[in-house]
């Protein structure tokens, strides 16, 4: 017997309206609009990202993790903008074979992350599609007026920094597809989680407003996103391949196959934060990493020019500096 599937408004009332509780501007999803009133002295920063089955996640990924990834990729941009989470809207396009159980698990994932990151759903839309499952989220963040970060403004001589480790998500996707060498027992779950569940570096956001010139989240790939900074700022960059922060699992795999390193430097889905800062901030940032609970690694520096150069022990490394994830 086929599972009962509620209609659109029953679905909204049963699963999505509870996610708005505690946010008066959502109106319990009974209106077509939300009312957003940032606190005095703050501005809203806004980001929309969509994720699509078969492109950003696998069709059989757990529903709760799909929901959390959809939200977190937006929160990563909020963090890069120097903001704190405030609210979000969501457009959910469900394929023909959707089930109520899937929606219930999806909303449980959203609820878990709303509690972790202190924000609420405040509106959106639910539609059917003949195509793949698609989730588009618009996240709203708060920043003190005039302090939002961008990717333009880097200067020659700036240090280039990145949070966390690079390439784990790409390896996690390969692991799910069976496209990596044999992994140690603890490596596969770690890498798969890094692909399915990004870690928005929100703890860094207020620090960025104080110390960084520019920042960007690493979604298209480290080299590509650094290239976006260079294009916006009218500068070049030189980074050292041996400085790229790798997890123990990634380091072991790169040690066995050095050709993997350029792949990890250009792969997407890291959702770390790349930023530049003047070199007088170096000592403070190195000490700060111990307090944040995740690495901060200096990769190189901003230089005159317009291109990203990747060096290995001072020599150019063969890498597609125009690489990175592209939809078109």
39: which DSSP letter?
P
Q: What are phi and psi of 156, to 5 degrees?
A: -55, 135
Could you give the dihedral angle defined by the CA atoms of residues 241, 246, 250 and 254, in that order, rounded to the nearest 10 degrees? Answer: 20
Task: Give the distance, in angstroms, between the CA of residue 3 and the centroid of all CA atoms in the same chain.
Answer: 34
Q: Which residue has the higher pLDDT, 318 or 226?
A: 226
| Cα(254)–Cα(190) distance, integer angstroms | 16
Least Cα distance to 192 among 180, 205, 200 occurs for 180
The Cα-based distances of 228 to 249, 262, 266 in angstroms read: 28, 18, 13
Q: Rg for the chain (alpha carbons), in Å?
A: 21
Question: What topology is assigned to 8-144 in CATH?
Answer: 60s Ribosomal Protein L30; Chain: A; (3.30.1330)
53: which DSSP letter?
B
Domain extents for the chain?
8-144, 159-316
Determine the CATH number of domain 159-316.
3.90.650.10
**Using an 8 Å Cβ cutoff, are 259 and 178 in contact?**
no
Paired with 315 in beta bridges are 312
| Cα(164)–Cα(157) distance, integer angstroms | 23
pLDDT tens digits, residue range 249-303? 999 999 999 999 999 999 999 999 999 999 999 999 988 888 898 999 999 999 9
Going by pLDDT thresholds of 50, 70 and 90, the confidence category of residue 3 is: low
Going by pLDDT thresholds of 50, 70 and 90, the confidence category of residue 328 is: very low
pLDDT tens digits, residue range 218-261? 999 999 999 999 999 999 999 999 999 999 999 999 999 999 99
**Using an 8 Å Cβ cutoff, are 124 and 89 in contact?**
yes
What local confidence, expressed as pLDDT, does residue 190 receive?
97
Q: Percent of the chain having pLDDT more than 70?
A: 96
Least Cα distance to 136 among 123, 120, 148, 118 occurs for 123
What local confidence, expressed as pLDDT, does residue 316 receive?
81
Residues whose CB falls within 8 Å of the CB of residue 234, separated by 6 or more in sequence, listed in order: 306
pLDDT at 81 over 70: yes
Could you give the dihedral angle defined by the CA atoms of residues 187, 190, 196 and 199, in that order, rounded to the nearest 10 degrees? Answer: -140
Least Cα distance to 170 among 13, 323, 19, 38 occurs for 323
| Cα(165)–Cα(249) distance, integer angstroms | 11
According to DSSP, the β-strands at 214-218 and 134-144 are unpaired
pLDDT at 318 over 80: no
| Cα(161)–Cα(158) distance, integer angstroms | 10
pLDDT at 26 over 50: yes
């Amino acid at each position: 017997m086929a599972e009962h599937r509620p209609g659109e408004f029953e679905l909204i009332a049963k699963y999505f309206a509870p996610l708005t509780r505690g946010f008066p501007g959502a109106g319990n999803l009974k209106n077509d609009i939300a009312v957003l009133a940032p606190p005095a002295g703050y501005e809203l920063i806004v980001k929309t990202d969509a994720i699509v089955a078969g492109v950003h996640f696998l069709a059989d990924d757990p529903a709760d993790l799909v929901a959390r990834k959809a939200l977190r990729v937006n929160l990563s941009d909020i963090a890069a903008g120097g903001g704190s989470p405030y609210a979000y809207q969501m457009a959910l396009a469900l394929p023909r074979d959707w089930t109520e159980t899937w929606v219930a698990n999806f909303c449980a994932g959203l609820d878990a992350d709303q509690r972790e990151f202190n924000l609420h759903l405040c509106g959106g839309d639910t539609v059917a599609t003949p195509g793949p499952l698609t989730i588009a989220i618009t996240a709203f963040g708060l920043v003190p007026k005039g302090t939002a970060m961008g990717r333009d403004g880097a200067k020659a001589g700036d240090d280039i920094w990145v949070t966390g480790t690079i390439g784990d998500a790409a390896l996690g996707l390969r692991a799910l597809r069976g496209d990596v060498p044999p992994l140690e027992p603890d490596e596969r779950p770690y890498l798969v989680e890094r692909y399915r569940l990004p870690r928005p570096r929100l703890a860094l956001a207020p620090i960025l407003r104080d110390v960084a010139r520019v920042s960007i989240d690493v979604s298209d790939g480290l080299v590509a996103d650094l290239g976006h900074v260079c294009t916006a700022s009218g500068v070049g960059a030189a980074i050292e391949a041996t400085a790229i922060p790798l997890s123990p699992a990634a380091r072991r795999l790169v040690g066995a196959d050095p050709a993997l390193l350029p792949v990890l430097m250009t792969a997407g889905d890291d959702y770390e934060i790349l930023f530049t800062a003047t070199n007088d901030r170096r000592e403070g940032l190195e000490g700060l990493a111990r307090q944040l609970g995740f690495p901060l690694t200096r990769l190189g520096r901003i230089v005159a020019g317009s291109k990203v150069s990747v060096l290995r022990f001072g020599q150019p490394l063969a890498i597609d500096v125009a690489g990175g994830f592209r939809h078109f």
